Amino acid sequence: MAEPGLPETGLTEPGPAEPDTLRLFFALWPDDATRDALNRTGKWLHLHWGGRRMRADTVHITLAFLGSTPVEQLGSLVACADAVQTDAFELILDQAGYWRHNRIGWLGASRTPPQHLELVGALNAALQGAGFAVDARPHVPHVTLLRNSAGGDVPECTPVRWPISDFVLVASRTDPDGAHYEVIRRWSLKN
């Protein structure tokens, strides 16, 4: 017999509670071919700089980091992303770099396409208009490939051509074995 207040499902205890907040960010999420190319570049940089390689399933470019966000604000975030109307484009990641202050090895673009800046600008404007905090620093498109790296001379890398046709909203959770990401929703860019 079910406990008082529980339906007759055979359960005697309620399941895990849904979280009140989610750790969220908007991102560019690579297709399989781009992910493979980024993973190869991560291996190449690791040979030169050491450190901990990022798992292939976690590589992305953050467009807007939201952090811990109440679940009831998901509808507002979807509306913000729905308002973004920018063109698809190609991003060429051709410049490896190392940030000494946080020991990050990354791959970025030596030239940022105007459509990328339009996408980030439109998304941040919509978020700010809806009351979400946005990062005021200039956006630098890059993919983190190494953490806890020693850095050093910057090796020449094969450019990664990334066709950008959409962006996503991602939920992040950190477990003992590292970060895990789940794409919640995807928005297409104009062709």
pLDDT at 15: 46
Residue 96's beta-bridge partner residues?
107
73 three-state secondary structure = helix
- Domain spans in the chain, listed from the N-terminal domain onward: 24-188
Residue 97's beta-bridge partner residues?
106
Q: What tokens were used for 135? A: 């990062």
128 three-state secondary structure = helix
Query: Is the pLDDT confidence value at 108 over 80?
Result: yes
The domain over range 24-188 is classified in CATH as 3.40.190.10: no
As a whole number, mean pLDDT of residues 115-139 equals 95
Q: CA 177, CA 97: separation in Å to the nearest integer?
A: 26
pLDDT at 103: 95
pLDDT at 8: 42
* Separation in Å, CA 68 to CA 24, 51, 132, 176, 191: 7, 28, 12, 19, 33
Phi, psi of 88 (to 5 degrees): -65, 160
What is the band of 156 on the pLDDT scale with cuts at 50, 70, 90? confident
Query: What does pTM read for this prediction?
Result: 0.87
Q: CA 184, CA 24: separation in Å to the nearest integer?
A: 9
Alpha helices in the chain (DSSP H): 32-49, 74-82, 114-129
pLDDT at 174: 85
The kind and range of the H/E element at 64 are strand 61-70
pLDDT at 136: 86
What is the band of 1 on the pLDDT scale with cuts at 50, 70, 90? very low
Q: CA 54, CA 179: separation in Å to the nearest integer?
A: 10
As a whole number, mean pLDDT of residues 50-72 equals 96
pLDDT at 16: 55
Query: Is the pLDDT confidence value at 14 over 90?
Result: no
Query: Is the pLDDT confidence value at 7 over 80?
Result: no
Are 61 and 143 within 8 A, CB to CB? yes
Task: Kindly write down the DSSP assignment for every residue of 148-161, as one continuous string.
Answer: S----S------EE
Average pLDDT, the chain: 90
Residue 182's beta-bridge partner residues?
171
As a whole number, mean pLDDT of residues 77-99 equals 96
